[in-house]
Amino acid sequence: MSEDKDKVEGYRQQSGKLPFPRPGSGGSRGTSDLRDEEAIAGIKGLGEHKHDDLVTGSAVGKPTALVDGRWKVTGQAQYGDDVRLPGELIGRIVRSKHHYARVLSIDVSAALELPGVVAVATGRDASGSFGVLPVTKDEHAMAQEKVRHVGDPVACVAAIDESTAREAVRLIEVEYEELEALHDMRGGLEDSDEPIHDRGQYHIGSSNVQKRVFQEFGDIKGMADNAVASHSSSWKFAGANHGFTEPHAVVANWDPSGRLTLYTPQQVPHYVHRALADVLDVPMHQINVHRTFVGGGFGGKSDPFPHEMCAAILSRKTGRPVRINFDREEVFWVNRGRHPSRIDMNLHADSEGRLCGIETDALIDGGAFASFGHVTTYYNGVLHTAPYEIGAFHYTGARVWTNKPASGAMRGHGAVNSRCAFEVGMDGIAEQLRVDPITLRLANLLPPHSATITGFRVTSIGMRECLERVREASGWDEKFRKLPYGHGIGVGCGFFISGSGLPIHWEPNKFPHATVHLKVDMDGGVTVHTGAAEIGQGSDTVVAQSVAEVLGLPLDMIRIRSRETDTAPVDLGSYSSRVTFMNANAAISAAMEIRQELLDAAAEMTEAPNDRLVIGDRRIYMRDDPKIGVSYLEALHKAQEDKGALVSSGAYRTPPMGRVHKGAGAGIAPAYSFSAYVAEVKVDVETGQTKVLKVWAAHDCGKALNPLSVKGQIIGSCHMGLGQVLSEEMKYGRNGHLINPDLLDYKIPTIHEMPEVVPIIVESNDSEGPFGAKEAGEGPLLPILPAVCNAVYDAIGIRTSELPITPDRVHRMIEDRCKKEEMDPLDLDSPVLRHSELQATLEARASEHAERDFLRASDPDLPDYNNGALFGFNPEIPADEQDERWVVSVTPDSDYMESPRLAGSAWKHAERRHGGGS
């Protein structure tokens, strides 16, 4: 080291004063490590990527422990309830004990008299409404006039300790007038004397329909006529909760300078920031939202919440910090989990084994509030228009309010249930056509760089490789329809957005989705300011990796500051699987600015031409003569000469995408992820118990920036999805009470239920993704549900259409089958497959398409490919512009309304502004 010190060159400093060139700081090494060729996308044969030139071999593509992992495992991470401020008070929320009631009066006098109670607040203290979507702000900090579900906040108290706060809650007398509660989602479609919300002129009749969607694309009239095989199913999906480890907790502090700091484990600090300003009626700059460590989110911490408002209101009243921590039961009252749903789906295939039509009708139970429901209603339809090329798509969706805890966004938002129905339908179609279900899928895939029937622009597609690899890894060809009775194997696929294309609060061309600021001072460490919310998914790590990669630095020289809205640039937060794609892209562009400054400085120092310099490990050198170069610190200090610390800002905005029909923006994303899973199960035919033995899980994430993290996401998604397929269910008993708001009776699978999962990473190198990456956080959940359902069919010949497949449900279906076939459960047979002639046709088409896809993936200058080419249309023009039978319609006509399907019947009402309701 002392030798090194003498060699320091290139910047003017007094020797011995500031010993920057310590080991690890990249001071003055003569040569640099060569680039890690394995890590370079271009070299791996994935094709050219715009970020290939930025690859330095330092971080991207290497299995990397999360940068905040040690904080967690050493117990030093502060989650919401770990924040302790001097003088804190404990807040508790008074909750409704009725499903639906008018609040007549609230008597807080006894509570206020209790020693130790400092303040009480009710709905009168804050009347401003909020909601995660600007179009449906239907929530309040506390009840204004009505309570809408058991657990709905009515009032809140702040006291010196938890016992006093709990006692004060008991002392608050609320007088209610009970209203007739609505529990069955089907009832929400009808007119009501007392709809759960009033949306004014936009209210749909006098019903409880919160949102309805009608979409018809393609050859709707022809689909049934063209079909030689049709599969119909009528699904019921129970509601599911995220089941994250950390219950909601919040600390609000209206500090002495008159500003509010809200400490909260939030996925989307920016929306809370906005909602607080609305509800508290203070300007946003007076509020600092401090995201604490988040003990799991999965969509359940992405809405602004009433308890966050309550804590702030109580802190304002008392002038002291107020902390609210939930019991698990309260987590279930806030919920925002997967919607209980009724989905009817018909799939049609023609004589060539093409999917000539999909008809989906989805009624989803939104519970008491809108939350993300507007989007969920669309997602239940539009997110199963790919990865297959289809001849027609008919979708009717409706979301209704009921007097249950609100449903919302949960990992795989809106796509999970209908994807399950769809992929099970594919299995049914394959059965009818007597073809292998994987072959059927391979022969119907959209190619890379194509447009779906509703006009989504799809870039990279790794679907084919996903299917081929799970087929191979699972030994599919030896097992499918060949395993003994009770033992089965099944396949399912998934397709998910990699970042919602539309920012909720502004036009996509007006303001970026994500912005990242960098600051590099004399010490050489890079401080990254980002608003992306680290919720355990690894967003801090992926941003650090992206910056480290571009600047050629080790990860420990990158410091992430992502906690506070005071310092972080506005970011839309962690939902819709947008962070890696959008935030890492923003980070890369910020890092490119710094990189350019470093290259310019190095060019000046070495007199080498700028374009021949490359960045390696803490060194900038000439590509062809690595001996000529300067260390990172030398270049940095040179660059800092006139201005001090280097700062830069990078932003990400989505390109213009999609079509123009109403609702065209829902489901638009700059890229999409794809996945295919095979699950192997055993079913105990006497008890109906399903045991998942092994899962082969292939996911196309574009490029695994952190393979360790991607594998973790795949395995974690499997666990979460298995919960929904096997045992998780929010059960509502007689009287509509949620009877299992606790983790003993809300049955999350344990280690015993968890099969071995073989994660398979597929890299399709997305042209717009950061270093080619796409999402891996939500998409991997989708295929496990249908894969298990299809495996159960393979095992015992029973096609489920209700989740979860708890043993009692499977047993009932086995009994029904036994009754029909007059057999004993132990003597039933599993299904067999004798290929029809179509199998060979499909295999030939699949291999033709494989070639087509390979060419499209590697050639950037291809003609357009629109859904419909498989049906004989010119691929360069949308089929609806070539054939008048291919329709684009977003409102039902009178023919449809003569016999609408269940959710479709939501269209029988006129909006109030058009003369409906009263």
Least Å from the CB of residue 688 to another protein: 8
In the complex with another protein, which residue's Cβ is closer, 185 or 810? 810
Which residues 159-188 are close enough to bind another protein by CB under 8 A? Answer: 162-163, 166
Q: Which residue has the tokens 């002038």?
A: 319
Least Å from the CB of residue 305 to another protein: 18
β-strand 322-325 against 89-95: which pairing, if any?
Answer: parallel
In the complex with another protein, which residue's Cβ is closer, 694 or 908? 694
Phi, psi (rounded to 5 degrees) for 591: -70, -30
In the complex with another protein, which residue's Cβ is closer, 176 or 896? 176
Contact with another protein (CB under 8 A) among 211, 231, 323, 747: 747
In the complex with another protein, which residue's Cβ is closer, 492 or 741? 741
Least Å from the CB of residue 272 to another protein: 26
Contact with another protein (CB under 8 A) among 228, 693, 739, 818: 739
Contact in structure between 405 and 335 (CB atoms under 8 Å): yes
Asked whether the CA dihedral 343, 348, 353, 355 is positive or negative, the reply is negative
Binding segment toward another protein, per CB under 8 A, in 81-89, 708-716, 751-759, 870-878: 751-759
How many residues at the interface with another protein, by CB under 8 A?
34
Which residues 542-571 are close enough to bind another protein by CB under 8 A? Answer: none
Q: Which residue has the tokens 């991997």?
A: 780
Contact with another protein (CB under 8 A) among 351, 687, 847, 891: 687
Q: What angle do CA 485, 492, 654 make, to 5 degrees?
A: 170
CA distance 183 to 192: 13
Which residues, listed in sequence order, are joined to residue 650 by a DSSP beta bridge? 516
* Cis preceding linkage at 804, omega within 30: yes
Contact in structure between 678 and 489 (CB atoms under 8 Å): yes
**Mask of contacts with another protein, 775-814, x by CB under 8 A?**
-------------------------------xxx--xx--
Contact with another protein (CB under 8 A) among 329, 821, 829, 859: 329
Least Å from the CB of residue 317 to another protein: 24
Least Å from the CB of residue 157 to another protein: 14
Least Å from the CB of residue 367 to another protein: 16
In the complex with another protein, which residue's Cβ is closer, 375 or 726? 726
Q: Which helix (H) or strand (E) holds 432?
A: helix 416-433
In the complex with another protein, which residue's Cβ is closer, 95 or 394? 95
Least Å from the CB of residue 99 to another protein: 9
Contact with another protein (CB under 8 A) among 751, 819, 820, 898: 751
In the complex with another protein, which residue's Cβ is closer, 97 or 885? 97
Least Å from the CB of residue 163 to another protein: 6
Least Å from the CB of residue 738 to another protein: 9
Least Å from the CB of residue 755 to another protein: 13
Binding segment toward another protein, per CB under 8 A, in 68-76, 158-166, 360-368, 482-490: 158-166
Using DSSP's 3-state secondary structure scheme, residue 381 falls into helix
Contact with another protein (CB under 8 A) among 177, 225, 281, 327: 327
In the complex with another protein, which residue's Cβ is closer, 96 or 717? 96
The long-range contacts involving 162-169, CB below 8 angstroms and separated by at least 24 positions, are: 162/90, 162/92, 164/90, 164/114, 164/115, 164/116, 164/117, 165/90, 165/91, 165/92, 165/117, 166/92, 167/114, 168/92, 168/111, 168/114, 168/117, 168/120, 169/92, 169/93, 169/94, 169/111
Using DSSP's 3-state secondary structure scheme, residue 882 falls into coil
In the complex with another protein, which residue's Cβ is closer, 570 or 805? 805
Token code pair at residue 891 = 């409102």
Which residues 718-737 are close enough to bind another protein by CB under 8 A? Answer: 727, 733-735, 737
In the complex with another protein, which residue's Cβ is closer, 742 or 893? 742
740: contact with another protein by CB under 8 A: yes
Contact in structure between 106 and 345 (CB atoms under 8 Å): no
In the complex with another protein, which residue's Cβ is closer, 505 or 811? 811
- Which residues touch 12 (CB under 8 Å, ≥6 apart)? none
Least Å from the CB of residue 536 to another protein: 23
Least Å from the CB of residue 808 to another protein: 4
Phi, psi (rounded to 5 degrees) for 717: -65, -40
Which residues 70-129 are close enough to bind another protein by CB under 8 A? Answer: 95-98
Contact with another protein (CB under 8 A) among 26, 321, 408, 749: 749
Token code pair at residue 19 = 């010993």
Least Å from the CB of residue 463 to another protein: 34
Residue 321 burial class via C-beta count within 10 angstroms: exposed 0-12, middle 13-18, buried 19 and up: buried
Contact in structure between 205 and 917 (CB atoms under 8 Å): yes
* Distance from the first to the final alpha carbon of the chain: 83
Token code pair at residue 803 = 């989740």
In the complex with another protein, which residue's Cβ is closer, 330 or 880? 330
Number of helices followed by number of strands (H, E) in the chain: 21, 30
Least Å from the CB of residue 318 to another protein: 21
Using DSSP's 3-state secondary structure scheme, residue 268 falls into coil
Q: What are the DSSP E strand ranges found in 562-688?
A: 613-616, 619-622, 629-631, 646-652, 672-684
Q: Which residues bind another protein (CB under 8 A)?
A: 95-98, 150, 162-163, 166, 327, 329, 686-687, 727, 733-735, 737, 739-742, 744-745, 747, 749-753, 806-808, 811-812
